[in-house]
A and B are shown apart, each in its own frame.
Chain A
Amino acid sequence: MVTHSSELKQISPDNIIPNPENPRMIFREQDMRELRESIREVGIRVPIAVYQDAGKYVLLDGERRWRCAIKLNLRQMPALVQPKPSRLENLLMMFNIHNVRVQWDLLPMAYKLQDIKEMLEADGKPTLTKSLAGITGLATTTVKRAMELLELPKKYQEVLLKEAQKPRDKQEVTADLFIEINKAYRVVERYVPEVVAEIPKRQFVDSMFKKYKDGTEKNVVNYRKISKIARAENTGMEASDVAPILVELVRRRDYKIDDAYADTVSTAYKTRDLASKTISLLDTLREYRSGKSFSPELKQRLNLLRKEIDRLLGHK
């Protein structure tokens, strides 16, 4: 981090340029409008931070304030002028200053994380997710999620950048969709490799994305059921039993994940759940020496349960 002293100045917003390393590229209309109204009302109370470079001031902190200042045609704005940092220092400062305040969009952030990773690699420093999280102040899961997006084909990265320009409530596709699709693919790859042999990753992502776009799938969380299908061995089924259904799920556009789930592991998972619940119920029942203290209502329910068990097991 840069820790040198800085100087407070009044600077013309026209002499300031944005920081090329700021990953937050999306400025939303409503947010900007609110900030602008606040500046109009009370002025800029917290100075922005800049450094001087080639006759201009480069922004370190306060890009939204600066943009609003230009819109309001302010002649001057308060700024802390700091010494010019190195590129890595600059990038890390962007993360440390900004990310605690405004939530960046995941993909633009991922691009900058990639830059940091490459610079650290060049310096022979560790670049594990944990190290990146530590150095940037991000949560490990956030770094993981961001880096995952870099594996997406370019066309989907462009889709995400385009969507990010919309107000959040209007966004149809978010990073979460691709993160869930990626996760599902990884599980399929690990537990049912025969599917991957037939279906390359690109085809899998395309198919799952189309299902979401055309409304076959409405909820990104539903993609987790693909992982459950792939892990059929947890229910005592064989991977080879579910492989054809997973292939069909990718190939048939109108085939819903819920249907594939019902056609494969749904009953097996229910049976597994029943077994686990039975064990838990048995343990609870064994804690009582007698049922004398049970309410008439509980006794009635236990009787119903006994009858149902007798029916299932064929007892009279």
Chain B
Amino acid sequence: MDYIYTPEEAQPIADAVRKFLLGKKYDVQVEKAITTDVQYRTTLLVTKDHYSILVDAQHKPEVDISIKDLVVWLFSNAQCAELFIATDRSASFSGKFLRALDNTGIGLMIVEEDGSVRIDRNPKNPALIAKPEPGLKFGNYSKQVELCLRKFNSPSSLLSEDNQRKDALRDLCEIVEGQTEKLSVLLSNKGYLIRDEGTIKKLSWNDQINLLASRNQYTSNFTPVIIESLKIDLHSFRDARNKLDHKVRSKRAEIARQQQLTERMMMGTRLVANLVSIFNSMKRRK
């Protein structure tokens, strides 16, 4: 492979990573900029459906100021991108370097002596980070939601198996499901719902959502606490959990799913906040 700016020492590393990415059926571009206005070109670039994997091959790995600038640029432009530094087995890693990887969210690939490539550290993809909207209050669930978000936002890559994002979304689903039941039970105990606690607890999550949104299920003329749009969101969120384990058949579908996971996660935090807010206001009501 002919390189222009990749130093000779780093070229065997670049060759090995290129082979690795080609093996994963990605189209790999060499020494291409992700966009015309970015201020740093990495050695390798994969782009597919607005998802990018950038790899900078380095013999003596360093998170220098130029690559830090690239990280800032990726974040500020909300690029859906994974950034890696790739190096070989002989490289030594200082504590400063490893801390810099953690702080910047850059991943680390290591080319082994036999030419195989190992993902040593997963990167953080700025566009796949789920951040709850400001002002959302999660009441007693604050800690649990925070844990879910931390798990969801922990470094991950399309290229590696160890991915906690689905688990985190599943955990958040359980919180929303639990809060739906808690709200139903509260309304039942307060006499707003026609069904008793025992019956409600036997209902599926799907039925509990429908119950809370159905006028017929309330005593007298009580307006359902869950309006139509919230009901749709709850069902859609529930549906997302069911689809988590569906196998995807293409890179494109995998990328779409990763982006969807982030949207669902954000949606989940909104739903927890909504349900907590309704629960608190109903609890105060006499």
Contacts and interface: CB of A to CB of B under 8 A. Distances in A.
A33 B62 contact: yes
Categorize the interface residue count of chain B.
Answer: 20 to 34
B40 A29 contact: no
Given A37-B64, A37-B66, A40-B65, A165 B4 contact: no
B102 interface: no
B131 interface: no
Interface residues of A, number: 22
B124 interface: no
Contacts, number: 57
Contacts of B36: 73, 75
A4 B69 CA distance: 41
Interface in A29-61: 29-30, 32-33, 36-37, 40
Residue with the greatest number of chain B CB neighbours at <10 A, chosen from A26, A29, A36: A29
Contacts of B41: 70-73
Given A70-B5, A70-B31, A73-B38, A29 B64 contact: no
Residue with the greatest number of chain B CB neighbours at <10 A, chosen from A27, A37, A70, A71: A71
A68 interface: yes
A142 B258 CA distance: 60
Contacts of B64: 33, 37
A167 interface: yes
B191 interface: no
B40 A73 contact: yes
B280 interface: no
Nearest to A30: B60
Residue with the greatest number of chain A CB neighbours at <10 A, chosen from B7, B31, B33, B39: B7
B58 interface: yes
A37 B40 CA distance: 11
Contacts of B33: 73
A224 B101 CA distance: 49
Contact of A72 (B8, B11, B39): B39
A166 B59 CA distance: 9
B235 to A, nearest CB: 46
A17 to B, nearest CB: 9
B127 interface: no
Contact of B40 (A18, A33, A72): A72
Interface of A: 18, 26-30, 32-33, 36-37, 40, 67-68, 70-73, 75, 164-167
